[in-house]
């Protein structure tokens, strides 16, 4: 991606403005996390030019963006698949069989935790507690929670996402991209 | 004056001192001096916001104040806890403190390489001193240590992240001394690192001070790296006319040559007057400087063992009187 | 039968919309407060109610509110902590998803009480779908005049917005939350100064959990006195419990504080007992951070009294034989679960979530994880158990924020109560890879303390 191609479409710029307007004047940095979510959803991941673009949008230093983007686990600073399958691995999910679900997906897609399928469609990632402990095991894809997972349910999900790969995070159709 | 600005009395390890309200326990201890002050690896008095992170300066508050004498339930970071009138603090006299500090030192060392003989900071490393005073001779950590490649951040500064203890001092330097901070702390937890994200050089004219504030060998001066063990060099107070900074520095001589230039540090290893890059990196000729005389180094380390001032008894260092 | 104060209308079709919520008595508390109560009256009712922070610490809410500094001309802020990330806890998500207007109504009341005109809900980034529900509900609240300028002619203005996290448990710590809301890394601040004096943008700030803020609605509706009548002793009111693990009916329950733990686990009205007819092995009653209790200390305290779902009873016996109510993340383990594996899993979580600012937590959590991993996979040594004990001891109490304690306590409790299971992992390195240890033998109070 070259510097010039890094540009939000107008509807997304309006969304950025709405995020900034949530805060008093001069406190636009407060919208950084939200704007990074938008950037990741639109550009696929947070490359260095994307982060620099966000810094310019919010009138902050690039290092302030790098520091934040590398701190929070939801941000991808490397390319990922179109659909991120994020399987919760923490305590309650583990005792309900999360490890088996991870192994099943690894086997089915032929990738390990953290890897992306060669066609660039799926990335598998194990994550820490997503707040679905009573409905374990579970995974998050995009912004959707899929709970009470079974192997059959995983098959179904993967089939569904193969047909209709969703973008990572945020219903981007809301912003016309 | 005394009515409008009453002093607080605080007692640390049995020694009392009167200080202004708002003074931290650590600074009160430094006013008492001797071996009363707790060690500090991240706090740096001239850097606003620094402190509280390394936890080496933890102390026990055995009496909160005259008004509320209850002890504090947990050990507190002396660098970021202010005194109350009548407060009683235990540093070296508290077993809890000694035990906790040994724990902190052990934590700081589990991922720090124990290769002091080949580290350029040896002899003036605060972690080395701290480990000697508070650490154990064996390590209980049996796993692979975190390592990073060495990187050049610009022409003059070498970053060896493997040695970093994440004190954040260099970030505060960039925040407070330079106009545009270009480096910071990236990632989190024990994967956190100091970096520029993309390999950038730090260009600001005061950025060289990150070397002086670094308590370990993570940020070193490329113009001096491995030219000499620091204890073979001879520190001399020197000054020059500089448009950018005070021009007051210490030049470290090998024979008749200036091997490196640093700012002047007090007995806690702290710089009070930062110097510019030009003075630090580019003025290495003897003619560039007016040499005042041997530098007295107070801080316990192999450098101070040399006692250079024996050669020049008439010299009284300006900055080092406690 | 439990009183339902928060989830009373949860089954009503369309309760997430303004109109249905309103028809079911919604925003009555706001009308009441704005018409007939001063801000201080609201604070007074909350104090009277005995409400304690529902996020985990259990600090009296009214008292927390009374600490807020009120310097002339400086705006104050109320922040709702919706960064629910404590393993085992999913009640706030449930509440926000199902009945978002209850939280908004609580935010209006609490902001009014504290004199805040700009309040925020900080929600974890993974709850993006909940954020969208909240934003819709907030828009409805604005459209119906519950938010904005001069609310219902009272002269009180309030703007409310939702802001998001992006994957960091630490942002549930209030000063880390504030940093994050300022668009920074979630590094907890050194206290003092406390948020009540210097919080968001250095202004006086109160941070309260979702459930705490929602509870202000019934307190204003029925009066603090009436709320205090519910519950037991200093554990007043109702509490949302997130139940997970090996039980028949996991999920979110609103219980009256004082319910017996035995009834909660075994009654069909609640968890319906252990799944597949198995035996109870252990329970973590308040989220992953609180000490795990072995089966013989779950339903009874060490002195043989019934263990109750209250702040006091769950902590009866201190850490030696008790635990904490915490966030109400109630995780149940059956006889087939491995305590070493679970402890390793939790420690991996804390290692992953440590912000890395202070040395004991940054280095200690990773060290503990590695030692636990070694034990779990049959490569451990007997000394590892004491080593773990020593590492957690050196983390606890010595860190900037409570994450250090949260990482240390589960390890300490697991060793305290399940030491024989740890030792078995060392003695039977092959066996421990193929089967689990089963139930631990009961210890007497004296052995536990010794």
Residue of chain C whose Cα is closest to the Cα of A68: C185
Of B162-166, C91-95, C197-201, C431-435, the range with the lowest mean pLDDT is: C431-435
Question: How large is the greatest C-alpha to C-alpha distance in chain A, in angstroms?
Answer: 51
Of B52, B107, B191, the CB nearest to C360: B107
B85/B166 same-domain check: no
Query: Is residue B20 in a domain?
Result: yes
CA dihedral A19, A21, A27, A33 (to 10 degrees): 0
Contact A36, B186 (CB under 8 A): no
What CATH number is associated with residue B207? 3.30.70.20
Nearest one of C19, C37, C119 to C78, comparing CA atoms: C119
Pairing of strands B151-152, C205-209: unpaired
B91/B16 same-domain check: yes
Q: Which residues of chain A have pLDDT under 50?
A: 1, 173-177
Q: What is the mean pLDDT of chain C?
A: 96
The tens digit of pLDDT for each residue in C170-207 reads 999 999 999 999 999 999 999 999 999 999 999 999 99
CB half-sphere exposure, B197, CA atoms < 13 A: 26
**Cα–Cα distance list, A120 to A40, A42, B94 (Å):** 16, 16, 59
User: Is the model's pLDDT at B322 over the cut of 90?
Assistant: no
B93/B103 same-domain check: no
Kindly tell me the burial class for residue B70, based on how many C-beta atoms sit within 10 Å of its own C-beta (0-12, 13-18, 19 or more): exposed
Domains delineated in chain C: 18-229 (3.40.50.11540), 232-334 (3.10.20.600), 339-449 (1.20.1440.230)
Across C121-155, b (16+ Cβ under 10 Å) vs e yields bbbbbbbbebbebbeebbebbeeeebbeeebeeee
Query: Is residue B293 in a domain?
Result: yes
Give the residue, B135 or C293, on which the prediction is more confident.
Answer: C293
Give the residue, B2 or C322, on which the prediction is more confident.
Answer: C322
Give me A172's structure tokens. Answer: 């981007």
Q: What is the mean pLDDT of chain B?
A: 89
Nearest-10 crossing angle of helices C128-143, C100-114: 60
**Smallest CA–CA separation between A121 and chain B, in Å?**
26
Angle, CA of C294, C299 and C303, to the nearest 5°: 85
Per-residue confidence band for C126, with pLDDT thresholds at 50, 70 and 90: very high
Percentage of chain B lying above the pLDDT 90 cut: 72
Of A29, A135, A171, the CB nearest to C183: A29
SS3 A22: coil
> Are the beta carbons of C367 and B110 separated by less than 8 Å?
yes
Cα(first)–Cα(last) distance of chain C, in Å?
A: 41
Report, in angstroms and rounded to the nearest whole number, the Rg of chain A calculated over CA atoms. Answer: 17
Nearest one of B61, B20, B19 to B38, comparing CA atoms: B61
Instruction: Tally A–B CB contacts below 8 A.
Output: 26
Query: Is residue B322 in a domain?
Result: no
Q: What is the Cα–Cα distance from B235 to B277, expressed in whole angstroms?
A: 19
What CATH number is associated with residue B50? 3.10.20.740
B93/B12 same-domain check: yes
What confidence score (pLDDT) does residue B300 get? 58
The tens digit of pLDDT for each residue in C130-158 reads 999 999 999 999 999 999 999 999 999 99
Number of domains in chain B: 4
Query: Is residue B114 in a domain?
Result: yes
Per-residue confidence band for C288, with pLDDT thresholds at 50, 70 and 90: very high
CB half-sphere exposure, A139, CA atoms < 13 A: 26
User: Is the model's pLDDT at B318 over the cut of 50?
Assistant: no
B268/B305 same-domain check: yes
What confidence score (pLDDT) does residue B153 get? 86
Neighbours of chain B (3+ CB pairs under 8 A): A, C
Per-residue confidence band for B303, with pLDDT thresholds at 50, 70 and 90: low
The tens digit of pLDDT for each residue in A94-112 reads 999 999 999 999 999 999 9
User: Is the model's pLDDT at C120 over the cut of 50?
Assistant: yes
Query: Is residue B159 in a domain?
Result: yes
Question: How large is the greatest C-alpha to C-alpha distance in chain B, in angstroms?
Answer: 61
> Are the beta carbons of A30 and C163 separated by less than 8 Å?
yes
Which pTM does this prediction carry?
A: 0.95
> Are the beta carbons of B52 and C400 separated by less than 8 Å?
yes
Helix (H) or strand (E) holding C175: helix C174-181
Domains delineated in chain A: 3-69 (no CATH), 83-163 (3.40.30.10)
Q: Across residues B29-35, what is the average pLDDT?
A: 94
Query: Is residue B139 in a domain?
Result: no
> Are the beta carbons of B104 and C355 separated by less than 8 Å?
no
Query: Is residue B255 in a domain?
Result: yes
Q: What phi, psi does B207 have (nearest 5°)?
A: -65, -20
What confidence score (pLDDT) does residue A169 get? 52
What confidence score (pLDDT) does residue C337 get? 96
What confidence score (pLDDT) does residue B201 get? 67
Helix (H) or strand (E) holding A83: strand A83-88
Neighbours of chain A (3+ CB pairs under 8 A): B, C
The tens digit of pLDDT for each residue in B198-249 reads 767 677 889 999 999 999 999 999 999 888 888 888 999 999 999 999 999 9
Q: Across residues C406-429, what is the average pLDDT?
A: 97
Residue B289 belongs to domain spanning = 230-311
> Are the beta carbons of A131 and C124 separated by less than 8 Å?
yes
Query: Is residue B318 in a domain?
Result: no
| Mutation target vs C (from A32, A39, A128; most C CBs, 10 A cutoff) | A128
Q: Across residues C8-12, what is the average pLDDT?
A: 96
């Amino acid at each position: 991606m070259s510097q010039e191609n890094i540009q939000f479409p107008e509807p997304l710029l309006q969304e950025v403005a709405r995020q900034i307007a949530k805060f008093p004047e001069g406190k636009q940095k407060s919208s950084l996390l939200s704007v990074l979510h938008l950037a990741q959803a639109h550009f696929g991941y947070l490359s260095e030019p994307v982060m620099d673009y966000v810094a310019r949008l919010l009138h902050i230093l690039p290092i302030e963006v790098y520091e934040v983007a590398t701190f929070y686990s939801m941000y991808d600073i490397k390319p990922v698949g179109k659909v991120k399958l994020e399987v919760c691995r923490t305590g309650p999910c583990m005792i309900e069989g999360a490890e088996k679900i991870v192994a099943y997906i690894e086997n089915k897609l032929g990738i390990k935790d953290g890897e992306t399928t060669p066609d660039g469609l799926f990335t598998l990632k194990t994550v820490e507690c997503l707040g679905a402990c009573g409905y374990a095991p579970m995974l998050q894809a995009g912004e959707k929670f899929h709970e009470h997972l079974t192997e059959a349910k995983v098959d179904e999900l993967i089939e569904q996402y193969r047909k209709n790969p969703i973008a990572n995070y945020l219903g981007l159709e809301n912003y016309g991209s | 004056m005394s009515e409008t600005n009453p002093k607080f009395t605080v007692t640390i390890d049995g020694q009392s001192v009167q200080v202004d309200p708002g003074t931290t326990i650590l600074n009160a201890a430094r006013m008492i001096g001797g071996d009363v002050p707790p060690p500090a690896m991240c706090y740096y008095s001239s850097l606003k916001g620094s402190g509280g992170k390394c936890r080496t300066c933890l102390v026990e508050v055995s009496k909160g104040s005259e008004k509320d004498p209850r002890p504090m339930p947990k050990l507190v970071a002396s660098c970021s806890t202010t005194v109350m009138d009548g407060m009683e603090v235990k540093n070296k006299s508290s077993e809890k403190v000694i035990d906790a500090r040994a724990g902190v030192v052990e934590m700081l060392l589990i991922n720090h390489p124990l290769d002091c003989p080949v580290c350029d900071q040896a002899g003036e490393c605060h972690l080395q001193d701290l480990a000697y005073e508070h650490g154990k001779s064996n390590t209980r950590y049996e796993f692979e240590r975190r390592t990073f490649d060495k990187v050049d951040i610009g022409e003059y500064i070498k970053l060896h992240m493997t040695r970093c203890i994440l004190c954040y001092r260099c970030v505060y330097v960039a925040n407070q001394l330079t106009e545009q901070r270009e480096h910071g702390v990236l990632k989190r937890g024990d994967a956190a690192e100091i970096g520029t994200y993309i390999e950038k050089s730090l260009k600001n004219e005061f950025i060289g001070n990150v070397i002086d504030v670094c308590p370990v060998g993570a940020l070193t001066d490329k113009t001096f790296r491995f030219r000499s063990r620091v204890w073979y060099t001879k520190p001399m107070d020197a000054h020059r006319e500089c448009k950018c900074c005070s021009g007051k520095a210490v030049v470290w001589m090998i024979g008749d040559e200036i091997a490196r230039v640093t700012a002047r540090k007090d007995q806690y290893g702290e710089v009070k007057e930062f110097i510019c890059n030009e003075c630090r990196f580019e003025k290495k000729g003897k003619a560039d400087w007016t040499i005042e005389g041997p530098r007295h180094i107070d801080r316990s380390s192999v450098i101070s063992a040399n006692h250079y001032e024996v050669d020049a008894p008439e010299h009284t260092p300006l900055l080092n009187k406690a | 039968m439990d009183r339902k104060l928060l989830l009373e209308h949860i089954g009503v079709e369309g309760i997430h919309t303004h109109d249905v919520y309103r028809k079911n008595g919604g925003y009555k508390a706001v009308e009441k407060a704005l018409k007939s109560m001063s801000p201080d009256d609201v604070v007074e009712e909350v104090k009277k109610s005995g409400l304690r922070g529902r996020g985990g610490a259990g600090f009296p809410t009214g008292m927390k509110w009374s600490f807020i500094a009120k310097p002339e001309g400086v705006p104050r802020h109320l922040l709702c902590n919706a960064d629910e990330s404590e393993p085992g806890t999913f009640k706030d998500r449930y509440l926000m998803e199902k009945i978002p207007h209850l939280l908004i109504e609580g935010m209006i009341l609490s902001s009014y009480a504290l004199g805040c005109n700009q309040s925020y809900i900080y929600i974890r980034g993974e709850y993006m779908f909940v954020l969208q529900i909240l934003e819709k509900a907030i828009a409805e609240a604005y459209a119906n005049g519950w938010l904005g300028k001069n609310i219902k002619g009272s002269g009180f203005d309030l703007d409310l917005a939702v802001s998001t996290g992006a994957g960091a448990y630490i942002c549930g710590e209030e000063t880390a939350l504030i940093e994050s809301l300022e668009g920074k890394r979630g590094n907890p601040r050194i206290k003092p100064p406390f948020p009540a004096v210097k919080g968001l943008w250095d202004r006086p700030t109160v941070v309260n959990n979702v459930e705490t803020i929602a509870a202000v609605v019934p307190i204003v509706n029925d009066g603090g006195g009436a709320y205090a009548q519910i519950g037991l002793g200093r554990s007043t009111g109702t509490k949302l419990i997130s139940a997970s693990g090996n039980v028949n009916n996991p999920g979110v329950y609103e219980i009256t504080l004082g319910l017996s733990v035995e009834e909660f686990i075994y009654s069909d009205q609640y968890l319906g007992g252990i799944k597949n007819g198995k035996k109870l092995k252990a329970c973590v009653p308040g989220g992953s951070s609180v000490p795990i209790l072995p089966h013989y200390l779950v339903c009874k305290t060490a002195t043989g009294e019934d263990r109750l779902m209250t702040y006091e009873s769950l902590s009866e016996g201190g850490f030696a034989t008790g635990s904490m109510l915490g966030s109400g993340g109630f995780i149940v383990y059956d006889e087939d679960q491995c305590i070493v594996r679970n402890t390793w899993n939790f420690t991996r979580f804390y290692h992953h979530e440590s912000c890395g600012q202070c040395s004991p937590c940054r280095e200690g959590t990773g060290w503990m994880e590695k030692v636990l991993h070694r034990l779990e996979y049959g490569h451990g040594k007997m000394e590892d158990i004491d080593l773990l004990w020593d590492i957690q001891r050196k983390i606890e109490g010595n860190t900037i924020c409570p994450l250090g304690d949260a990482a240390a306590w589960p390890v300490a409790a697991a060793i305290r109560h399940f030491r024989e299971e740890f030792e078995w992992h060392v003695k039977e390195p092959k066996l421990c890879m193929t089967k689990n240890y089963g139930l631990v033998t009961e210890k007497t109070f004296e052995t536990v303390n010794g």
